[in-house]
Structure 1
Amino acid sequence: MTRPAQLLDRRARRRRETIEEILEVAVEVMTEDGVAALSLAEVARRMGLRPPSLYQYFPSKAAIYNALFAQGARRVAAAAVEAEAAELDGADPLARLRTFQDGFCRWCIENPVLTQLLFWRTVPGFEPSPESFAPAVAHLEELRSRLRAAVAAGQLAPQAASEEAVALFTCLVSGVVAQQFANEPDASYEQGRFTRLVPTVFDMFIARYAPKEHTS
């Protein structure tokens, strides 16, 4: 005999699985039709559901965008940290920062739909909730902490941890990703004409904020 708690767990698991499936299908639709062209009717059709059934899980299209934003923010942050963890020379803050950012850029190129939702205003009027935006804020703080570590190690000048430097760093990185999508959207991260410049962009940032004793 199935106990009430087991029944609730089973229902909760099925609900989580259905939510994940809805989000996966939504990304499929957005990949084919455009990020701003998400259709709940099309998502329901592909899942074999009646459109009103989706409202049991998401009350609106904006709610799906919001859930995808949170999912993307978590995943890109995790990809950056995982890439950094693979860096053998863990004592070198700049080497760790380089792999941290490389993991970020690679994830962006491999996940174009979520990247557009995260970093470009592709959906008119959409604003993520504070809860969904929180992982993005945390990721930016991770970047700041790594810049501060490089400063503490004497590899970068103190200005490298300033808000201006953080803004410049993100502009350089996002510019590479945007150029790749605009010009070679189907190229791999390794073969992309612009993504191949990620190490060069990183070196430019280092040169801009090199310690004074290293600039002569």
Structure 2
Amino acid sequence: MSTAGLDRRTRRRQETIEEILDVAIDLMETEGVAALSLSAVARHLGMQPPSLYQYFPSKMAIYDALFQRGARRLRDAHRAALARATNADPFANDLIAISAFCRWCLENQVYSQLLFWRTIPGFEPSPEAFAPAQDSLQDLRDHLQAAVDAGRLHPDATSDDGIALFTSITAGLLSQQIANEPDASFEHGRFIRLLPAVLEMFYQRYAPTRGKK
């Protein structure tokens, strides 16, 4: 988050918040997402645990801030890919966008666990934290609508069921890749390389002739 334009005190507070979140992510990478400890975060920052509560009242508040940060970064990476997807073929554009989405998830697995898997008992993101994720879903719906308008997909592709199927099959590939080959790159992952085939299956499911005899 940019601190430009903030007064010195507010800027310093925001910088400390970002430092706390950075340390939390580092600890979650080594100790596990659900094993985050406020005392460990404070110790790595060289502050007393009570001082940490001036910035985050609870561990769940840190998770919430990390969820929002991750959802925002993923949304922005997806939007950047959408901006580059200028092919005449909607399928090629969708493959560019979803590839960027999955690449980011593989390169940021701690955030991915927080965003897509219930690894923290009792955690639910706040509406504010969840807002960027909703933006991403709307971006997906709009992008699929462009394929519908181009005559490459049936209108049902943008229905709630269509969106659920699209996110389920892509998340399934990610889950398999992270579970079985967490250190493999996007280019060499045994499961994630099936992404074009999965997208083709979606396009076949929602072909423009869907429901016609």
Gap runs ≥5 in structure 2: 1-5
1:207 aligns with 2:204: yes
Out of 162, 165, 179, the residue aligned to residue 162 of structure 2 is 165
1:138 aligns with 2:138: no
Structure with larger Rg: 1
Map of 2:107 onto structure 1: 110
Gap runs ≥5 in structure 1: 1-7
1:60 aligns with 2:58: yes
Aligned partner of 2:50: which letter? P
- The answer to whether the 8 Å contact 1:80/1:99 transfers is no
Give the Å deviation of 1:149.
1.2
Out of 74, 82, 85, the residue aligned to residue 84 of structure 1 is 82
SS at match of 2:153: coil
1:196 aligns with 2:205: no
Distance 1:102 1:194 in 2: 13
SS at match of 1:212: coil
Out of 23, 36, 39, the residue aligned to residue 38 of structure 1 is 36
Distance 1:58 1:75 in 2: 21
Map of 2:73 onto structure 1: 75
Aligned partner of 1:54: which letter? L
Give the Å deviation of 1:204.
1.1
Aligned partner of 1:38: which letter? L
Distance 1:86 1:203 in 2: 20
Question: Deviation digits for residues 76-109 of structure 1, max 9, x if unmatched?
Answer: 11111112222342x4433322211111111100
Percent identity reads 60
Map of 2:145 onto structure 1: 148
Distance 1:161 1:130 in 2: 23
Distance 1:163 1:70 in 2: 23
SS at match of 1:122: coil
Distance 2:209 2:150 in 1: 14
Map of 2:45 onto structure 1: 47
Give the Å deviation of 1:21.
0.6
Give the Å deviation of 1:198.
1.0
1:179 aligns with 2:176: yes
Question: Deviation digits for residues 147-175 of structure 1, max 9, x if unmatched?
Answer: 11111110111221111111110011000
Distance 2:92 2:161 in 1: 22
Distance 2:175 2:125 in 1: 21
Distance 1:49 1:113 in 2: 24
TM-score (norm 1): 0.91
Distance 1:180 1:187 in 2: 8
Paired residue total: 207
Give the Å deviation of 1:199.
1.2
